[in-house]
Amino acid sequence: MSNPLIGRIVRRLRQEQKLTQQRLASRLGISTSYLNLIEHDQRGVTATLLIKLTEILQVDLAALSGSDERQTEQALRETFADPLLGTDPVPDAESQLLAASAPAAAQAVLGLYRAFQAVREETGGITLPSGRKILLPNEEVRDFFHEHANHFPELEDAAEAMGAELPAAALGMNHALAERLRHKHGLVVSVAPLPGALRIYDPAARHLRLSEILPRESRGFQMAFQLGLLEVRDLIEPIVKQAAMTTRDAGELLRIGLINYFAGAVLMPYVSFLEAAADLRHDVEHLAMRFGVSFEQACHRLSTLQRNGVRGVPFFFLRVDPAGNVSKRFSAAGFPFARFGGNCPRWVVYSAFASPGTVRVQVAQLPDGATYLCFARTIVAAPTHWGEPPAVRVVAMGCEINRATEVVYADGIEIAHATVGIGLSCRLCDRQDCHSRAFPPLAHRLALDVSTTSSSPYRFEPTRG
């Protein structure tokens, strides 16, 4: 298995399970010295040995892939690169070692840095509503979904059970949802003008009103959301309680996020959606039409197909506005999003704004050589009144390049010649001759010469070995 972190991950898992090298080597059928070489990244791991490791250590392949460790490593690199910390440069190798060998310590460091960020914001004039808050509520909820691989088996099971009772094939999904609300809960659904709102539920009047500006697929989603609110709160509340969000706002956002998850699972049942995705080779627009959902809903559902033993292609998912503000993100594919600061302007996510409604595709390669097939498309929200500009965002997805043949968007692309080098963010990117660079990298000194005007906005001195 080609993964520079696997040896350290194996060593950490072995130590956590209190296995000696001799004991683990014996169970693997290899010598202790060979296992020692693996743990010190001096020997690779064959496919057969990899399967044995997952069985003996009782973990799935994802735990040995290093995707979580790479995400943590990237967050550590960003943290250590902050010049306001006033520390000497931390080599990338040390960030990698900490992420792979001591993940709890790495998370503690990141937690301290988030606290430092919060204090820095306060002293800069931004007043936070609670002294206990370390993260903004949306960031805290986003981290929770990431920690759970954006997959909640109990909600999937409940959605499948409800789906089995819905006569969607006979009535159509939206009609079936409305009928369940009426027959099981005595709830009347109506569509009407709702200034300033998309959905209003009046429990006393047993009335659910949906805005007339909602497209058909969004009306179905809102009815599925209402069913989740009425029927699976007993499953959702324990998850919210166990999450122990630091603020009430974060707890409420998590609750809404989990009900949204359930609604998506009702509209796009796990097994049938997974089979359709494979059959259509992840053509998102076709998937959206088949299940009567929006492009964004279909993309988001693809990112949740992480059931043990029946996983889909691991995709990352991102939603961003023209100013670069990220409102949703999740990375099952191990894509290391920059947590602080903007993303790379060379990334297809941003060029997609130039061609509204068209799926843009890119083979993107990070400075460490990791390569992803990425695709992105704009989505436009309906304005609530004349003269209001519609909200335009881009939804983007991607997978590791070795899964590209399973995705229709890779057809016709010569990967070897189409690869575009991108960075995570300008301040972390070491690419010298990037014409799109907005800021110099934090880890390098600028190379300034009044006698020369460079084609790149910021030239910098390379790191000396």
Q: What are the residue ranges spanned by the domains of the chain? A: 6-130, 153-267, 310-421, 435-465
Strands 371-380 and 316-320: unpaired
Q: Residue 242 contacts by C-beta under 8 Å, 6 or more apart in sequence?
A: none
The stretches of 268-380 forming alpha helices (DSSP H) are 270-279, 284-291, 295-302, 348-351
What is the spatial distance between Cα 455 and Cα 442, in angstroms, rounded to a whole number? 20
CA–CA distance from 54 to each of 13, 47, 48, 309, 437 (Å)?
Answer: 11, 11, 10, 13, 42
- Tell me which fold the domain 310-421 belongs to: Beta-Lactamase (3.30.450)
Report the pLDDT value the prediction gives residue 442, as an integer from 0 to 100: 61
Over residues 281-322, the pLDDT tens digits come to 999 999 999 999 999 999 999 999 988 889 999 999 999 998
Regions in the chain scoring below 50 on pLDDT: 1-2, 122-133, 465
What is the spatial distance between Cα 340 and Cα 428, in angstroms, rounded to a whole number? 11
Q: How far is CA 292 from the centre of its chain?
A: 24
Q: Residue 55 contacts by C-beta under 8 Å, 6 or more apart in sequence?
A: none
Report the pLDDT value the prediction gives residue 285, as an integer from 0 to 100: 96
- State the DSSP code for 356: T
Residue range 6-130, CATH number: 1.10.260.40
As given in the structure block, the two tokens for residue 292 are: 């009567």
Q: Is the distance from CB of 321 to CB of 333 less than 8 angstroms?
A: no
Report the pLDDT value the prediction gives residue 124, as an integer from 0 to 100: 43
Hey, is 58 helix, strand or coil? coil
CATH fold match for the domains 153-267 and 310-421: no
What is the spatial distance between Cα 83 and Cα 88, in angstroms, rounded to a whole number? 9
Q: Work out the angle at residue 354's Cα, subtended by the Cα atoms of residues 402 and 264, and round it to the nearest 5 degrees.
A: 60
CA neighbor of 373 nearest in space, from 344, 405, 351: 405
What is the spatial distance between Cα 346 and Cα 426, in angstroms, rounded to a whole number? 10
Residue 365's DSSP bridge partners are 371, 421
Report the pLDDT value the prediction gives residue 10, as an integer from 0 to 100: 86
- Does the domain formed by 153-267 have CATH 1.10.3720.10? no
What is the spatial distance between Cα 419 and Cα 410, in angstroms, rounded to a whole number? 12
As given in the structure block, the two tokens for residue 283 are: 């053509």
